Chain A
Amino acid sequence: MTDFPTSIWPALLVAVPITFALGTVFFAAAGRMWSGLAGSVATTLVSALAIAAAVREGGLIHHLGGWEPPLGILLRLDPLAAVFIGMTALTGIAVSFYAASYLRSQDDLPRGASLFWPLWLMLWAGLNGMFLSNDLFNLFVAIEVVGISAVGLAVLSGKPPALMAGLRYLLVAITGSMSYLFGVALLFGAYGTLDLTLLSAAVEPGATTVFALVLMTLGLMAKSAFFPLHFWLPPAHGSELPPVSALLSALVVKGSFYILLRLWAEVFGVSLTFAAGQLIGVCGAAAVIWGSWQALNQDRLKLIIAHSSVAQLGYLLMVFPLLILAPGTAVAVASDWTSSAWTAAVYQTLSHAFAKSSLFLAAGVIVIAAGHDCRESLLDLVARRPMTAFAIGLAGISLTGLPPSGGFFAKWMLLKAAIASGQWWWAPAVLAGSFLTAGYVFMILRLAFAPGNSDTENRPVPRGLESAALLLAVASFFIIVPAEAVISFLESSAPFGSAIVPGEGGVLP
């Protein structure tokens, strides 16, 4: 892991968005937009170049301050981090252009709305820092950067429901990060290091490790809105400005999932048991059923999409039981399904990020056109806003998991892993989730095709808004085209593909 070559790219992935974020502070609203857009383009370029370099070299590292761990902090851009950074860049650039157009065309926004730009670029830097960090305490600081800027974005609309949801989100976030930090303190006390690589070599089973595992897992689950700690998400994501909902649901909740995945696969393997995996899998299955059911029963489009996030995040949790080997299973045999399970985790993350951000952006278009997002706003959408209706259709198909979308590939891999590992009991939950998702997606589409009444308003919408939503919906389909290359890149380095052997830790088959 540390045998990757040293490079400046990991440092630039954090420094560039922050440089532009600081720049935007000095401008008034219009200048903020242009400098913010420039920052988004620059960060996307840096991400692309950094990923290209990582593909060439297999991975990159950067010793901050020139100090080796455990004294210093290591940034490492390995394949898994590269894929998440790529996801952030693609979603980020599309949402940035959408936001520029949206913030300029809306005149009922509070004056502070132009603070979107510094907060969003800080958030971007924090996310990149989270994906790159190889240090437990630095992860805490990155989590806080992401958490505070995310809540700052969430309350930009300035309306009381958004402020209320934001306050609750913030309290959950603070509680979650304190819980995480207590785990960090215990691990530091027990093993004298914060570096993930050194820690994974040093960690031993015992009460302290188990307790740290529980605290950190619960803290991160709360921040990711994993069932049953999801209660804050629907009101928050349902009341934000559309570009913010897109960013928060696509990227921010994935950040803490990424940390959770890494911690389980790289650090806590020795203390995990088969039962722990089953428990978290049950949470996932319950989230899929409960979230989809709730989505079916919502009246407002944004709330349907927000509840759907709870369900789609549940699929990510169902990956964990498939990574942990039952007692007596040989690691060599497990390679059949661990690789599928990891693929499912990555592809579910990517397809949900693109599909969900596309849906929130499309919902924003509908709110502009119709003035609200109740069911009637969807009537006759196909005729009035064909591009937006098409985006909703594509994104909905990907969420449901119909071929040939990215969401289909993720769910297919999840089913394959469940059957191959003998844990067939996850399959009904995956299928039921898809049926329920199909239910609310077709409910939306049925309304979109239904003839509208003439009094439905249809105000003009800037072209760029619809294009951004469509671009992301298309992306959620086309990610399966390079699937083979992406997976072989990911497989070149741990933890991707490793199985968690209880009592031993993550092992590559």
Chain B
Amino acid sequence: MSVWIDILLATLSVALAVRCLTAPTLAQCVFLFFAFGLTLALAWARLGAVDVAIAEAAIGAGFLGVLLIDALRDFAPAKEATVEDAEGYAAGGSAAEGSAAGVPLRAGRAALPLLPLAIAAVVFVLLTAEAVLNVRDGGGLTELAQENLARSGVDHPVTAVLLNYRSYDTWLEVGVVLIALLAIFAVGNGGTFARRDHVTHDPVLEPVSRILAPVLFLIGGFLLFLGKYEPGGAFQAAVLWGAMGILLYLAGWPVMTCLPRVWWQVLLTAGFGVFMLLGLAFMSGGGAWFEYPLAHAGNLILLIETLAALSIAAALTAIFAFFHEMHAPDATETPEK
């Protein structure tokens, strides 16, 4: 019986992915992408990956979806016919599925490679299916992770992997968020970030934010603390805090200017920097990088997670504010503050 739920979810996610790529307008594409992300989150919950489900729903569908919607303000004004013509989207997804779902194509360009591409895609799917379905059972690392859980300082195995067994990966990943933020600053508005706030007070969002922001903050903190025992942890908390920042920003609170510039810099780099320095600090005792003494491991991990969550939340808020500002017509001329 329950097999049918899985088959339904799997089919639905594939169908949404294909529809998303073949949708005639960009707006539909974004909303189908949202739906796709949420379907995936359900699939992950079915597979017992609650941490992943929260992370995907929050960051993958939520945060990126918000950025995509904000970007639509730049790209959606195109008359829909123009978008279709200019795109000539060659029914990529429908080629994979073997059914052209009535997507308008520019006849000359797209019709020609359609058949070979369709065949190639079908062959590729068959090959992939062969490769994944006849995969040898490698056994995974569950047993090892379980055996060493007592030495990791936390009780939740995913947190143990993220912040102890493979904390180097997680550290670099916090770094990737920072690098992406720097790269975004380097690109937009001639490399300046005006740190302007959303000036207009939003009459609807402001009362909402008064209630919702503290709730988001508390749930985020709760998830962070919970990560030691249950699904949850730094990334999930970071997204909730980031959502709080974005909400406050949109409601017209002085989110970007309430702190002096240097505090923003501290906030953005603290997670990455302290993560590394704490790891290095304990090397002096002869240990390895990121090796924590067992007696303190639990508290150290909580400290690192808190700072990482704060940094990522700050980065998400800053990225959103930056994106939001890009649409402003005078944004190019704004001097750095």
**Which residues on A are within 8 Å of B, measured CB to CB?**
6, 8, 11, 15, 18-19, 22, 25-26, 62-67, 70-73, 110-113, 115, 118-119, 122, 129, 137-138, 141-142, 144-145, 148-149, 151-152, 155-156, 158, 163, 186, 188-193, 202, 204, 206-208, 210-212
Contacts and interface: CB of A to CB of B under 8 A. Distances in A.
B175 to A, nearest CB: 6
Interface stretch (B78-86, B182-190, B239-247): B182-190
B165 A67 contact: yes
Nearest to A65: B290
A65 B167 contact: yes
A33 to B, nearest CB: 15
A22 to B, nearest CB: 5
B6 interface: no
Interface of B: 127-128, 130-132, 134-141, 144-145, 148, 164-169, 172-173, 175-176, 179-180, 182-183, 185-187, 190-192, 262, 265, 268-269, 272-273, 276, 280, 283, 287-291, 336
Given A11-B283, A65-B167, A145-B176, A193 B290 contact: no
Q: Do most interface residues of chain A lie in helix, strand or loop, or is the interface mixed?
A: helix
Given A112-B186, A145-B172, 19 more contacts: A11-B289, A18-B276, A19-B276, A67-B148, A70-B144, A71-B144, A111-B190, A115-B182, A115-B185, A115-B186, A141-B173, A152-B182, A163-B187, A188-B140, A189-B135, A190-B138, A202-B138, A211-B130, A212-B131
A446 B32 CA distance: 59
| Most central of A6, A112, A163, A210 by chain B CB within 10 Å | A112
A202 B138 CA distance: 9
Nearest to A133: B168
Shortest beta-carbon contacts, A-B, top 10: A112-B191, A152-B183, A192-B138, A211-B131, A66-B291, A11-B289, A65-B290, A190-B136, A110-B190, A192-B139
Nearest to A163: B187
Contacts of A192: 138-141
B138 A189 contact: yes
Contact of B138 (A122, A142, A193): A193
Given A110-B191, A111-B192, A192-B140, A65 B289 contact: yes
Nearest to B127: A211
Contacts of A122: 175, 179, 182
B138 A149 contact: no
B269 A25 contact: yes
B138 A15 contact: no
Contacts of B262: 26
A115 B175 CA distance: 15
Nearest to A214: B127
Given A15-B276, A65-B288, A148-B176, A72 B136 contact: no
| Most central of B136, B185, B291 by chain A CB within 10 Å | B136
Given A186-B131, A191-B136, A192-B139, A62 B289 contact: yes
Nearest to B138: A192
A404 to B, nearest CB: 41
Contacts of B130: 207, 211
Given A64-B290, A191-B136, A191-B138, A129 B172 contact: yes
B119 to A, nearest CB: 18
| Most central of B132, B140, B144, B191 by chain A CB within 10 Å | B191
B60 to A, nearest CB: 14
Contacts of A111: 190-192, 336
A15 B144 contact: no
Contact of A64 (B131, B148, B268, B289): B289
A406 B19 CA distance: 54
Contacts of A63: 288
A118 B290 CA distance: 23
B23 to A, nearest CB: 19
A155 B130 CA distance: 41
Contacts of A64: 167-168, 288-291
A151 B276 CA distance: 24
B131 A208 contact: yes
Contact of B131 (A65, A73, A191, A207): A207
B177 to A, nearest CB: 10
Nearest to A63: B288
Nearest to B183: A152
Given A138-B169, A145-B172, A113 B191 contact: yes
B178 to A, nearest CB: 8
B183 A148 contact: yes
A11 B287 CA distance: 12
A477 B98 CA distance: 56
B166 A72 contact: yes
A357 to B, nearest CB: 21
A138 B289 CA distance: 15
A148 B180 contact: yes
B190 A188 contact: no
A59 B132 CA distance: 37
Given A22-B273, A110-B191, A152-B183, A15 B280 contact: yes
A160 to B, nearest CB: 12
Contacts of A210: 131
A19 B175 CA distance: 11
A155 B188 CA distance: 10
Contacts of B287: 66
A113 B131 CA distance: 46
Contacts of A188: 138, 140
B280 to A, nearest CB: 6
Given A64-B289, A122-B175, A141-B173, A112 B185 contact: yes
A190 B138 CA distance: 4
24 contacts: A6-B288, A11-B289, A15-B276, A15-B289, A22-B273, A25-B182, A25-B265, A64-B168, A64-B288, A64-B291, A65-B167, A65-B168, A65-B291, A67-B148, A71-B144, A72-B166, A111-B192, A112-B187, A113-B191, A138-B166, A138-B168, A138-B172, A152-B180, A156-B186
